[in-house]
Each structure stands twice: as C-alpha cells, then as structure tokens.
C-alpha cells in the first residue's frame, strides 16, 4: 500500500515534545501506520515518543503473522498500548503523548487512539475527519452547528483529556471503517486544526509549505495512505 510522510518540528529549548510517524508492513493485505504527538509542555514527552518508536518495531514479526480479522486486529492494537504502558509504568512522568494507530486491510481501516491525533480522508478537494479528538473542546460542542469549525476554534482545543502516559492507562478508543477509494490522512493536531485550504496546500507543496509559511505555531506530522488503487 503506497504512503508518504511529512514531518515538521519547531525547534525551541522550552519545548519538551515532538511529532513523529512510523509504519509496519506485513504483506499486501495488512499495513500499520501511526502518528505520535509528544506533549510539548510535559518534560520527558520526547523521550516517551522515541521509546514508543523503538518499542513498536519489536512487533514486526507478530504483525507479519496477524490474521486480517477485525477482532484479532483490535486485540493486537490493545496489546500494543497495554504492553507499552506496563513496560514503562510510573517512569518518564510527566511525559505524555497523543497517538493514533491505523491498520489497513483489504476491506477495512481499524484505528486505536488516545489524544488528539486523527484519521481523515480526502477526495478531490474535500476533507472529512473520521475520528474525534480526546480534548476539552468536545465537552462544549453544539451538535447543531459546524462541529469541525468548533473543534478548530474552541479555546480549549489544546487541552487533551485522554493521552498515552505511564501514570494511568486511559480508555482506548477503537473504530472500524469500511475502506473507500480515496486518500487517507493520519495527522497530529497541528495539521487538522488548519483551515482546509491550508491542509490542501500542505499536501500539495509538502516541505515547500514550511518555507512559504511564516506563522507555524505547532509541530506537524502527516501520513498519506493512497487507497485509490485498491
């Protein structure tokens, strides 16, 4: 399954987090992608992100043998979260990160997430978001109005209510979607909070976008998974 990645991390000595991406591929029928967003105000967050990257690579052989069955994939994803928490329990505090992992099968997209990284899809110039963030803005949503506009503009949208940390394992959210002929996006909040026009420009311009934009306020991580040929 074809994919591309894009990363941008702001250099700041007072910042503790970083964004990153990664993937595992087992065969033509299963692919795993993830986006991590280390929380910038929590010391140890960058270390937590790096440790997770090292840790998830250890699942390569197990993933290679994983059957493309929804329930088994959900159990596999739960194990990744739970075992990481147990391995580093009560260490690297107060490090925390948002995380989303997506496994693509021939017919499904199965996600597990904590925090405000999200899965979306793009068809033409239309962007839609399939997962919801775990942040304080969710409490104040007016469902009769534009939900995405509220999520982008709410003054509380930077306060994450469920993160992956080593102090407490929060409830993991799982979602299963039928796969469509489109491009899927896995992103950190530095991307989905942008205006849609800017997201499209970022996807089109890639690294050039960063040199043309002077007011970047947050780290950004993006994986584009192309399912147009599936």
Residue position matching structure tokens 């800017």: 198
pLDDT in tens, 132-188: 999 999 999 998 899 999 999 999 999 999 999 999 999 999 999 999 999 999 999
Cα 167 from chain centre = 21
* Alpha helices for the chain (secondary structure H): 45-57, 60-64, 70-88, 147-153, 189-192, 196-205, 208-212
Q: Is the confidence at residue 103, as pLDDT, over 80?
A: yes
| Domain at 198, CATH number | 3.60.40.10
- The domain in which residue 183 lies consists of 3-226
Q: How far apart are CA 228 and CA 212, in angstroms?
A: 29
pLDDT of residue 188: 98
pTM for the whole thing? Answer: 0.95
Q: Are 97 and 38 in contact (CB under 8 A)?
A: yes
pLDDT in tens, 33-55: 999 999 988 899 999 999 999 99
Q: Are 149 and 178 in contact (CB under 8 A)?
A: no
> Could you tell me the pLDDT band of residue 26, with boundaries at 50, 70 and 90?
confident
Neighbours of 143 (CB within 10 A): 6
85-88 long-range contacts (CB < 8 A, ≥24 apart) are: 85/164, 85/166, 85/169, 87/55, 88/48, 88/51, 88/166
Q: Are 92 and 51 in contact (CB under 8 A)?
A: yes
Radius of gyration of the chain (CA): 17
Q: What angle do CA 134, 137, 140 make, to 5 degrees?
A: 125
pLDDT of residue 11: 87
pLDDT of residue 27: 67
C-alpha dist (Å) from residue 130 to 29, 148, 177 = 22, 11, 9
**Nearest of 200, 196, 192 to residue 220 by alpha carbon:** 192
pLDDT in tens, 62-101: 999 999 999 999 999 999 999 999 999 999 999 999 999 9
pLDDT in tens, 183-224: 999 999 999 999 999 999 999 999 999 989 888 989 999 999
C-alpha dist (Å) from residue 59 to 2, 47, 169, 214, 222 = 21, 19, 20, 39, 22
pLDDT of residue 1: 80
Residue position matching structure tokens 């329930």: 71
**Nearest of 201, 36, 191 to residue 115 by alpha carbon:** 36
Q: Is the confidence at residue 121, as pLDDT, over 70?
A: yes
**Nearest of 144, 136, 142 to residue 115 by alpha carbon:** 136
Total number of domains in the chain:
1
């Amino acid at each position: 399954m074809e994919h591309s990645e894009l990363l941008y991390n702001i250099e700041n000595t007072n910042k503790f987090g970083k964004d990153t991406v990664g993937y595992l591929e087992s065969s033509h029928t299963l692919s795993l992608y993830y986006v991590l967003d280390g929380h910038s105000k929590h010391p140890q967050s960058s270390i937590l992100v790096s440790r997770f990257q090292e840790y998830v690579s250890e699942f390569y052989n197990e993933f290679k043998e994983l059957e493309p069955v929804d329930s088994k994939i959900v159990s596999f994803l739960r194990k990744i979260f739970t075992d990481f928490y147990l391995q580093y329990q009560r260490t690297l505090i107060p490090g925390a990160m948002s995380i989303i992992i997506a496994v693509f099968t021939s017919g499904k997209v199965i996600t597990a997430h904590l925090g405000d990284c999200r899965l979306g899809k793009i068809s033409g110039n239309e962007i839609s978001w399939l997962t919801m963030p775990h942040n304080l803005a969710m409490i104040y949503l007016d469902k009769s109005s534009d939900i995405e506009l509220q999520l982008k503009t709410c003054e509380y949208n930077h306060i994450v209510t469920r993160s992956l940390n080593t102090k407490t394992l929060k409830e993991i959210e799982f979602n299963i979607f039928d796969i469509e002929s489109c491009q899927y996006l896995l992103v950190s909040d530095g991307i989905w909070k942008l205006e849609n026009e800017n997201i499209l420009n970022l996807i089109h311009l890639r690294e050039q976008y960063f040199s043309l934009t002077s007011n970047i306020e947050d780290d950004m991580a993006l994986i584009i998974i192309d399912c147009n040929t599936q």
